[in-house]
A and B are shown apart, each in its own frame.
Chain A
Amino acid sequence: MARQKLTEFQAKEILSSKIKFRFNSFLADKGTTAIEIEKKFKTKALVVKVDQGVKKRGKRGLMKVKVTSRECTSFIRRVSRKGYSNFIIEEFIPHEQDDEQYMSMERVREGVKILMSPKGGVDVEDSMNLIKEYVIDYKLLASDSKLRKKLDELFADKVKASLLFDLIQVFEEYYFSFLEINPIVFKDAQIYLLDLAVEIDDAALNLIPTPVEIVEEANVSEAEIEVKRLDQNTPASLKLKIINPNGSLWMLLSGGGASLVLADEVADLGLGKDLGNYGEYSGNPTREDTYLYAKIIIDEMLKASSKKKVLIIGGGVANFTDVAKTFAGIIDALDEKSADLKKQKIKVFVRRGGPNQEEGLSLMEDFLKENDLFGFVSGPDLVLTGIIQKAIKKA
């Protein structure tokens, strides 16, 4: 499906099985005590960071450098209130800014693209001219001897050539898509990965040697978690992102592409702030799955404080998602909440096509009219985004 982030702790754990670097990290959460931290690190100076795949932690106040165990726990308590739950604690490595280097790898069509810069750290992009790019051809990835030879040709520095060789081995074995070490410090014959970010290809999760867990995003709502859970248990695709919990425009969209085009229309009209959610169902979900998905969105819509609300059931002309079946599921969910929907004077606007569209559209139209929820119902004769225009007139 997509590239997913690993926690820094887990990424380091995986790398440590193959690569010799100083791995001395501690996984912490809200409940971690100063005593536990001291047990591992004694009285060393420490670094504490949010470990949830967040970028630019330094600039966003999500890490603290050169702190004591007690400062770690108070930092964790404070940042937890912003919705973060996973932290990583490491010993502070004294070093000069000049020691900070940059290294990254990304899977590209041609193989693996490596970027290196002798000047790493937060402002790596300020010295663009120092960043060197190398592409390791995909054919070399499968052969240890050819890969080693190539890396030895490219890098005079034996430590780097050998580190890159090992990194590529792990990169391949674990189906990584992206790996970035910034900064990496080479000091006293030791390698320190001061900050590591890894993305893994989640389509390969059952092909890798040891199981991994995908990072839990911070500040995810209950509704989003529920949809994620549903999505994991069906061959179809179900997605939800809450944009404004008190928005007035709520959407039950179908199709990865059509849902984007429909949401774009709202944003392009300058109504982004009114948009309650983005999401999509596709891949011919069952009636039951569609019911459960629709129910979550309808519940969120009912909770929203906006006075005038509309529900947009929008989608393109499906290739193989059965319109009658999925609409039956949506109607099940609407039916369950019809009294509340009526009370809030919510109207429903529909535009959809695909297999069994006549049956699905007329089922929907009849239901909406009987329950006083009818805004508009159309098949593919109406331009896809036309339904947004109709709905916002009522919102």
Chain B
Amino acid sequence: MIKINQLEKQKEKILLVGNHPYIIQSVLDFDYLSEKEAPSIVAILGNYDGFSKYFWGDREILLPIKKDLDTFEEKEQIRWFLSLSSGRRVLESGRMLADKLPNLKGGAFFAENVPEKHAIELFHLAQEKEFLFVGPASIGLLIPGVLKLGPIGGVTAEQIDSAKIVEKGGVALMAASGGMTNELINVIKQQDLRLSFALSFGGDRFPMLTTKDAVLLAQNDKDTKVILYYGELGGVDEYELIELKEKGELTKPVVIHIGGTVADLFPESPQFGHAKAKASRQDERAEVKRKELKKAGFFVSSKFKEVGNLLKKAHE
């Protein structure tokens, strides 16, 4: 498995797949504010060969657009991709990237509406080749000063600056929800703490990165002192945390908030915003997960406003 603290600030180069100007610019702003020597984005994979105009600080720069990876000589530098392709194309494009990028370490899939079957195929591909894939429907992966793979942490330079996401700290953040990832970055900042890394699993039923692998990523990261985890009703991923703790594979403190107790107001659990957010069984209910996690000795908040204090406590 990849070691987050061994990644190299100047060498983690990215291939952008698809076009989302404000997300691309936010990666460049992050690089610039992290005082990197050069942009982390090597090229944009598109429908034609050409260039696209962006800013590096105040200076205009041109990012190359490539339509074919076979003839792209600098592809050896690429360690990561950020896929902004549509849901239907994710499987095909994921397989192609895995095949054509010889030094690939991982990538993030932004698209929603990826069929479950396709996400599962890519999950197995990642397991087999030891890639760190996050998504689908993920706002990405963030390692302060090193890597911003998606809109995670914001898309304007002001956001990146005020959220303090270029300064490295000791909190590893992982969340099912993209919006809550950013909200919790805000909570961490308010406690005057900083991130070791942050990622959003995406709210789909089968995230390519499992809860277990994400937690182990934090456990094995030298910089991480405490883990902050946000989960929701639906699915049983959180029980993996209990299993890891019981086996002694997870020793770092984990602060957890589980959303979705509101579902109990309905006669039958409705489908909430995220595809996975629906409890069909008792153990998928938010209340039950909170109770079981608490019993296993995790720092579990019963109200969201407690998260900040628990985090401070766990960090000490």
Contacts and interface: CB of A to CB of B under 8 A. Distances in A.
Interface of A: 1-3, 55, 107, 109, 138, 172, 175, 177, 201, 203-204, 206-207, 237, 239, 241, 243, 254-261, 263-268, 272, 275, 278, 280, 282-283, 315-320, 353-356, 380-381, 383-386
Interface in B254-300: 257, 259-262, 264-266, 268, 270-275, 277-278, 286
B235 to A, nearest CB: 11
Contacts of B257: 261
B274 A256 contact: yes
A241 B206 contact: no
B18 interface: no
Given A316-B179, A320-B154, A383-B308, 15 more contacts: A3-B205, A3-B278, A107-B120, A257-B203, A261-B304, A267-B264, A316-B186, A317-B185, A318-B182, A320-B23, A320-B151, A354-B159, A380-B183, A385-B303, A385-B304
10 contacts: A109-B210, A257-B175, A257-B183, A259-B272, A264-B261, A282-B273, A317-B183, A355-B155, A356-B156, A384-B304
Interface string B228-263: 001011000000000000000000000001011110
Query: Which secondary structure dominates where chain A touches chain B?
Result: mixed
Pick the most buried of A1, A204, A241: most chain B CB atoms within 10 A of its CB.
A1
Contacts of A241: 266, 270
B113 interface: yes
Instruction: Rank and list the top 7 A-B pairs by shortest CB-CB distance, nearest first.
Output: A257-B177, A256-B273, A255-B179, A316-B183, A257-B180, A260-B259, A204-B115
B250 to A, nearest CB: 20
Contacts of B8: none
Contacts of A385: 303-305
A332 to B, nearest CB: 23
A263 B259 CA distance: 9
Pick the most buried of A107, A257, A385: most chain B CB atoms within 10 A of its CB.
A257
B304 A265 contact: yes
Contacts of A320: 22-23, 139, 151, 154-155
Nearest to A238: B273
Given A207-B88, A320-B155, A260 B232 contact: yes
A203 B115 contact: yes
Contacts of B23: 320
A382 to B, nearest CB: 10
Given A109-B206, A319-B179, A257 B273 contact: yes
Given A1-B275, A2-B278, A257-B259, A268 B302 contact: yes
B179 A264 contact: no
Pick the most buried of B112, B259, B277: most chain A CB atoms within 10 A of its CB.
B259
Interface in B104-129: 112-117, 120-121, 123-124
A381 to B, nearest CB: 8
A103 to B, nearest CB: 18
Contacts of B302: 268
A175 B117 contact: yes
B116 A282 contact: no
Contacts of B22: 320
Contacts of A237: 112, 273
A318 B87 contact: no
Given A203-B114, A355-B156, A384 B183 contact: yes
A260 B272 CA distance: 8
Nearest to A142: B121
Interface string B116-159: 11001101100000000000000100000000000111111001
Given A203-B87, A355-B156, A282 B262 contact: no
A204 B117 contact: yes
Given A203-B115, A353-B186, A354-B159, A3 B275 contact: yes
A354 B179 CA distance: 10
B178 interface: yes
Pick the most buried of A109, A254, A267, A320: most chain B CB atoms within 10 A of its CB.
A320
A255 B177 contact: yes
A237 B205 CA distance: 17
B304 A383 contact: yes
Contacts of B206: 109
A106 to B, nearest CB: 10
A352 to B, nearest CB: 10
Interface in B74-127: 87-88, 112-117, 120-121, 123-124
B261 A319 contact: no
A143 to B, nearest CB: 14
A243 B265 contact: yes
B275 A257 contact: no
B272 A264 contact: no
